[in-house]
Each structure stands twice: as C-alpha cells, then as structure tokens.
Structure 1
Amino acid sequence: MTTDNATDSYGLHQSILPSSEGLYGEFGGKIGHPELAKAMDEIEKGFREIIKDDDFIQEMKRLRETYVGRPSPIFHARRLSEHCGGAQIYFKREDLNHTGAHKINHCLGEVLLAKKLGKTKVIAETGAGQHGVALATAAALMGVECEIHMGVVDIEKEHPNVSRMKILGAKIVPVSQGAGTLKEAVDSAFESYLADLDNSMFAIGSALGPAPYPEIVSYFQSVVGREARAQFLETTGTLPNKVVACVGGGSNAIGIFSGFLDDKEVKKVGVEPAGEGLDTLNHAATMTLGTKGEIHGFKCYVLLDKDGEPAPVHSIASGLDYPGVGPQHSLLKDNNLATYDSATDAECLEAFMALSRLEGIIPALETAHAIAYAMRTAKDMSPEDTILVNLSGRGDKDIDFVLDKVTL
C-alpha cells in the first residue's frame, strides 16, 4: 500500500490515527464494559495482525478488483454543472460498486477479520440498509452467518434493501424501541453481540463506536480517497477546490477526506441533515448544533436532550439519522481540517431529482445531501473551480419513498 511522510505504514493519515487508548484528541475511546472491552481487544489485535498479512492484502486487492469493481470512476457532471452555474461538479462513483454503495469496502474486510478470529456470525445495525446489504453480501460470499438489526421505521421505508438482505440469507431483527430508527438498531445489535461474544463479531456500519471500530472502518474506506486524488489529478491536471461528502456516522466522508488531508488548499466539507430546519427539533445536524458528549461507548459531538441523553433525531435519509458522529470527524472539526454544513429534506429531494433528470444517475437520499450542498455552493464559485462529491450510494432503495414525496 502506498505511503507518504504523513501516513503510517498502512496508509492512514496521522491526523486520523488514534492513540493507544483509542482517542482522537479528546474524542473516541475504549468501551468500559468489561466483557465488551475484552472482545474489542480481541478484534483490535486481530485487525493489527491481518493488515500486515500479505495473503490478506492480496485477497482484499483481488476482491476489490474482481468482486467490488474497483477502482470506481470519476465522472464530470457537465449538465448538472451547467444547470447550477459556476463551479464544475465531479463525482466519485461509489454507487457503481457491487451492492450500490461504499459500504462494501469495509464489509469485506470486517467479514475476513471475523473469519480470522474464528467467528461464525457477524452482527450489525443498519439504517438505510446499505451496510446491511453489503455485510449480508460479504457474509454470503465467505460462508458466515449474518444478523442485521434494523429499526421498524427504516424497515418500512427501505423495504427493497430488506428484501435484498433476506435473499442473501441474513436474519433481520426488527427494532421497535424508542424511535425505531438507527440509534435503537445499534443498541439492539450490541445487546445481541454481548449475548454471543464467543461465536460472533460486531461489524459496525460506520467510522464510529468504541475503539477499534473508527480506525478499522476508516482504514478500509481510505481506498476511496487514495483513488480519488490520483484520478482527479489524472483527469483534470489539478486538485479539486472542494471535496464534499454526506455525514451521518461519517464513513464515506472520512474515506474520501483521507486522500486530501495533506492538501490544505482543498476544502473538505461534510454535509449533514438539517431535516425540517435547524430552527426545529427535527434534524440530525450533530456537528452544527451538537455538543461534546458520549454515545455507544465513545466520545464525540452528539445531540443531547434536556436530560443530557442522546436526543431523538430526524432525517429524510435513514442512513443519516444518528445523534452522534465519528470521533475522527469531531477532531477534524476542532482542528479546522474540515468544515461541516447541512442540507434540508427539501434540498435533498430537489438534488435527488436534479441529478436523476440531468445526468441519469439516481442517488441515495443520504448522498443527495452532499449533492444539494454542491449545487448550492457551485453558483458562487468560478467556472474554473471544481467540486468533487463522493457519490456514496445509489437510490434504488429510495425510489418508492421519493415518489410519495414529489410531484412528477
């Protein structure tokens, strides 16, 4: 794997590497629960070993090329750029990966790690279902049992992905507690994992949670940033002015940002859900309106209620409705290495339809938040300027939901 002076031996930038205590500055950390802490130590040890193993490295290379379809291409959205005016908009086409999103990048690695540890089952949460589909896919490929916990609200909303998971052989566990969305799915999945630590591994769906998960997921997603930087230079002869990605937990954003962290002239922008408006309680704008706190065993920016507990959140995109965010993003924000903006549900739907009608690409609602920001900001930039958006997922799963919301 390629390295430079600012990266460690396996290619992650120093600014997003944890301390020995799993901390990113004051964020992140190791879980305190004794049994879970022991399991996390086992996973971390296995991860450290596997990423130095030549057989594993070659197997990941083979699967990326022949199974996922990497490298995913860079696409110049000429009609969308002309429609917006100003800057030229480009996309890193992670939607073209097998399973339709960036999630397959870390799911293959997580299932390979589970097998190395002698586990027969992987357990995970999912919101929009993209992580669930990718994990079920990797589990089917490698002959591992798969259990996916999903909120009942998201099951109804994202039924195409639920059907895919079932076809792939995954067991779906509906979660009706609380709001019945992503946070509750995480709670439920951790409970199931705690009941079967010997035989199972928790395969988290984003670059968050207690150590070592943020590092594991960002390691596997860093391929997006490495590819994107080299491809953009080859395509345009220069680097983009802005690199943009949606942020819920933060896996696709940390993946593409990681390739540009040495490039101070490239502005990294994460776009989170403003929902029904930042002046309402119906949003998930963690980085914009959250405070420093703790959720699911790690420290990060988090939206809290009046009692100091993680607050109920809202987004039109099921994969973004989480009240916390990855610790690496929390550190990038505090160190001014990335900035964080937001897009409303209405802006998201507008962007979803614009990309579909102008470029023939139906994006995931999660990704449409990043597209909305790019459309909004492009018109205030020069035609010589460029914006690179991580098109992190396709919108097959969202089409019925969107058709109920828009007038054609």
Structure 2
Amino acid sequence: MDDLLYARAQMGMSLAFHIIFAAAGIALPLLMVLSDLKARRTGDADYAVLSRKLAKGTAILFAVGAVSGTVLSFELGLLWPDFMGTYGEVIGLPFALEGTAFFTEAVFLGIYLYGRERISPGLHLFSGVMVALSGAASAFFVTLVNAFMNHPAGFTPTLGGPVNVDPLAAMFSPGWQHQTAHTLLACYQASAFAMAGIHAFVLLRHPGAAFHRKALSVALPLACISALLQPLVGDLSAKQIAHHQPVKLAAAESLFETQRGAPLNVGGLEIPKALSILAFADPNAEVKGLNDFPRDEWPPVAKVHLAFQVMVLTGGAMALLAVVTLLLRWRLEAWPEDRRVLWGWLLCGPLGGVAMEAGWLVTEWGRQPWIIRGVMRTADAVTPVPNLAVPFWTFTLVYLFLGVMVTFLLVRQVAGTLPGRESAEVAHGH
C-alpha cells in the first residue's frame, strides 16, 4: 500500500474502533439513569444493581473512548495537516465544544460513581442525567464536523485558503439535523440491542433469572423506539443526500445510468420506482446515475453499495423485530419472554453495531475522493511524511490489545449477575 492508503486505513481503523466504544459510552448512561429511576420508583434491588453495573461499564468505556478519541485528535493533525492547518479556523468551534462536553461528562461521571452514598439522591440522579446529556453532546458536536466535510459551508474558498469565515454557519452546515439525529439514534440502537441480546442469551439458558428479565425490560423500550425512528430519520437523510450529494446516492444504489422512476435495490430485489419516491417523493423523479459525473469523482462504488445494503438490511431486520416485540407487548401487557422472541433478540443483538459501522462506511467512502467535498481532495490533505506503515501496524496492535481487555472487563461485569451470583450482588448492593 502507498502512504495515502496507509493514512486512510489508519484513520478508518481508529474510527471504526472508537465508534463502537464511544457509542456504548453515549448510550449506557441513559440506560443507567433509566435503571436508577426504576430502582427509586419500585424499590427493587435488582434495578439498583443494574444501575451500578451500567455505571461501571460506562466508566470502562469512557476510559477507552478517551484514549481512542485522543489518538484520533492527534491523527487528524499528523496524518492530515493541510486539512486542519487550512480549515481548522473554519470548523474548530465544534471541536472545542466537544472537548467541553467531554470534560463535563468526566466530572459528573465521577460524581455519579463515587457520590452515591455521599450526596442526596436527587443530586446523584441529576449527575447521571448530566453524564447522559454530556455524552450525547459530544457525539452531536463531532458529527457536526462530519456534516461539514460532506456539505461544506460558512466560508468562501480561494487559492489562498478560506475567506469570509462564519464559524456558526460552518458548524451548522446543511443537513446537520439529519446526520446528528441519525448518529445519536445509531448509538442508542446499537447499545440497546447489544444489551438486549446479552440478557436474552442468559434468559434462554436460565429462564427464571429475574435480574435479567428486569434488565431486558430496561433495554427493550430504547431498542424498539430507536429501531423504528432510525428508518424515518434515514429517509430524511437520504433525501438530503439525493439533492446535495447525488454521486453518493448513485454509488450507494450502484446506479450508473440516469433514470426516471428509478428502482430501489435491496438485497438483490428491485422495487420499481421506490428510489425516486424515497429520494424525491415522486415516483417519476429523475435520479442521476454515476455516468453523469466525472470518473475521477466517483467514490469506490462496490464498497459503498455493499455497505449501504448491509445498513439497510440490518436496519430493516431490527425494525421488524421491534414491531413484533411491541405488538406482543401490547397484547400481553408485558414484555414478551417467549423463546422465539428471545432468540430473535439474541440473533439481532450484534446488528446495531454492524449497521452503525456500515452506515459510517457509506458516509466516509461515499465522500471520496474528497476530504471536504468539492473543496479539498483526500490526496491533497495527506501528510508528506513517509513510512506510514509503521504507525498503522503499531496502532493496530494497540487497538487489538485494548479491545481484548475491554471485552474481558465487560464480560466480568455480566458474569457477576449470572444465576448463583446475582443474589450476592443484590445482598451486597454492588
């Protein structure tokens, strides 16, 4: 591989790793607060134990997210110096605000973890809410940077660099609402589905495990709501892309020729006129094909198309499971515990993470060959420093080590609540 490919691979690997743990670090505080609220309302010790477990998980993931996020901030400057050096003044504001949100989250997480018995219950709960809000704010501000890279605004490009800079206009570039909502929902969906899958697995082996039934009742509402909202937000995002990034839409659908009444391709099945309806709310609308654009501005079509298909199919499977679960919840007036439903949640547990990674790949691959669409090419932003294979393989090994350690620690957290151990957890209140 050449140095450009090594730089892109290192950034991609770092982001792929960071996204999973950062997403869990964003969503677990919300689940932690929901468990805390249930414990206060019902007086049930199991919910208190769950809240403590989720708090410990949040602390672990926060630490890993901090490490990987710090690495990413260095990589932005070291691997892409022209991007940060030229456009840092344009898009620096959300980076600064993300740092503020990060430190706010750290402060309140410390209060929540160590102040349970030292401060009033109301203040303790407030600190948990602030952890959840600060985590969401961090994701919000970082996603604004990505929205800018996909649809730059707030400056006038010139050969000498950007002029007439408006940091607020750059931060809230067109489409920011859809992209930030899509990202936050993906974080909640991936984490809630993973949590539901874990507890469904235990319940399949130990049907009478009360703790895991209650944990599932905390995860399922968030999982179902996010799974049903995500396709709606995704539709709005697709319409934005159709109007402002038509080459990305054409690559996602592997559409080479411009068509009126373009079909939607899902898993090899063509739905007549569906793409025109989804993109422009008109069954006869024209959808531009790749051949309408210069060949050197095409993204990697096969990769974008495959990632898009994975995102749509996994998202559809999760939405279908959410519908079935909510219908059973309405009929039974309780969350279903049928083995077939539990198997569904077990099998779909990893799909939220898969869909999130696939969606991120659609966004990033679909923007190529630009680092800032239409303004700066990726090849023009990469560092001139040679031998980028060395940091790539070094960081690959570091991330593998971190991944193994985090997985080990999280498995220990779950193992402590298995039947035979959970009674001790409840008795000791931790």
Same topology, TM > 0.5: no
Higher helix content, 1 or 2:
2
Q: Scaled by the length of structure 1, what TM-score is found?
A: 0.27
- Which structure is larger by alpha-carbon Rg, 1 or 2? 2
- When normalised by structure 2's length, the TM-score is 0.26
